[in-house]
Chain A
Amino acid sequence: MKEALRYGFILAMICVVASGLLGGMNSLTRPKIIAQVQGEEQAALREVMPEGQHFEPIKKGKDIIYYKVNNKDGKFIGVAFEASGKGYSSVIDTLVGMTQDGSIAAIKILNQNETPGLGARIAESSFTGRFTNKNIQGLTDIQAITGATISSKAVINLVQEKAKEIQALIKNEK
């Protein structure tokens, strides 16, 4: 019994020291980590809406549904939003920039795990570039990558579906 208490005490002491250390470390790195995350988010948003200057997240409860994008004069030019869906062998996450009139500014593949060399080529700019300046109604005309029809069609469909949904939401936005 006494032995067990001693063991517990020693282990507890080690844990206390470790927690203290980690607490200190956390307060040191936390602001930096938050800044990094925000910086990356901003950079990704810039990429899909190159003319945007100010990105305002529109939330529903805790989740961000889309970002309202204003240009440098403060004028509303469009939205950016995340769209994801099932591809050939993985879930594909994309970030989409859409202008007010419902045409795509650019898309970016955030996350995918498709077949290397075939489906994974959806992340290349030669494919994502095909979306630029396309109206969301005409997305189905986009040519699929040879040999990777399923992954390509999946991206087209998931972007189109989400885009239509968001467009309905922002109809009255000025």
Chain B
Amino acid sequence: MKNLFKEFLKGIIRENPTFVLVLGLCPTLAVSTSVINGIGMGIAATFVLLGSNVIVALIKNIIPARIRIPCFIVVIATFVTITEMTMKAYSPALNRALGIYVPLIVVNCIVLGRAEAYAQKQTVLNSLFDGLGMGVGFTLALILISGIREALGSGKILGYTLVQKFEPAFVLGMPSGALLVIGLLLGFFNILKGRRE
């Protein structure tokens, strides 16, 4: 049990997909304009990660090594399409806000990366917790980045105005702002890592 918890925890800090593995930056840059988008993207990716990790771990003995990548992609794409359909049916506004980046979860390196580097060598249960940990780590990173960008870039958090008369710096809502925030955060976490070691 303790082992499983460790598998879950490593995705959040020690092997955080965004700040340590530096994977899946494309959706991170694109959708982190507001916290609600960040959470939506995080949940969608977590669901896909969970599904693909479990299925890949289940069928790892059936698929031959030479065609594993197409097999993984089919599995991942299936889960992504399910996510997209559900999102369209129950939360069209979020689906529109995330736009093309929902179908693009298929090529999110975190998902394929975990299938390739972890799930195809591990038990189903381990993979489940790994996927959950990675998904939560990704979601937390998205919340942090989008929180900073939304607070400073539009003066709001989840749509609520924080400080009256604050004049937001629009650049943080633009793509260049995303690069800036992620770059500074990566540097900051590297300093922390350097201190700990």
A→B interface (CB under 8 Å): 6-7, 10-11, 14-15, 18, 21-22, 25-26, 29, 32-33, 36-37, 40, 116-117
Contact = CB atoms under 8 A, between A and B. Distances in A.
Interface string B155-171: 00000000000001010
Q: Which 9 residue pairs across A and B have the least CB separation, nearest first?
A: A32-B89, A29-B89, A18-B78, A116-B170, A117-B170, A29-B85, A7-B67, A36-B92, A33-B88
Interface of A is mostly: helix
A17 B114 CA distance: 22
Given A7-B67, A11-B70, A18-B74, A33 B62 contact: no
B82 A22 contact: yes
B86 A29 contact: yes
Given A10-B62, A33-B85, A33-B89, A21 B78 contact: yes
Interface string B25-51: 000000000000000000000000000
Contacts of A37: 92
Contacts of B90: 32
Given A14-B63, A33-B89, A33-B92, 17 more contacts: A7-B64, A10-B63, A10-B64, A10-B71, A11-B71, A11-B74, A18-B77, A18-B78, A22-B81, A22-B82, A25-B81, A29-B86, A33-B85, A36-B89, A37-B92, A40-B92, A117-B168
Nearest to B168: A117
12 contacts: A7-B64, A10-B64, A14-B74, A15-B74, A18-B77, A22-B81, A22-B82, A26-B85, A29-B86, A36-B89, A116-B170, A117-B170
B89 A10 contact: no
Nearest to A22: B81
Interface in B148-183: 168, 170, 173-174
Interface residues of B, number: 24
Contacts of A11: 67, 70-71, 74
A32 B86 CA distance: 9
A116 B64 contact: no
Nearest to A18: B78
A17 to B, nearest CB: 8
B48 to A, nearest CB: 13
B66 interface: yes
B124 interface: no
B23 interface: no
A15 B59 CA distance: 13
Nearest to B81: A22
A91 to B, nearest CB: 15
A7 B64 CA distance: 7
B75 interface: yes
A11 B174 CA distance: 41
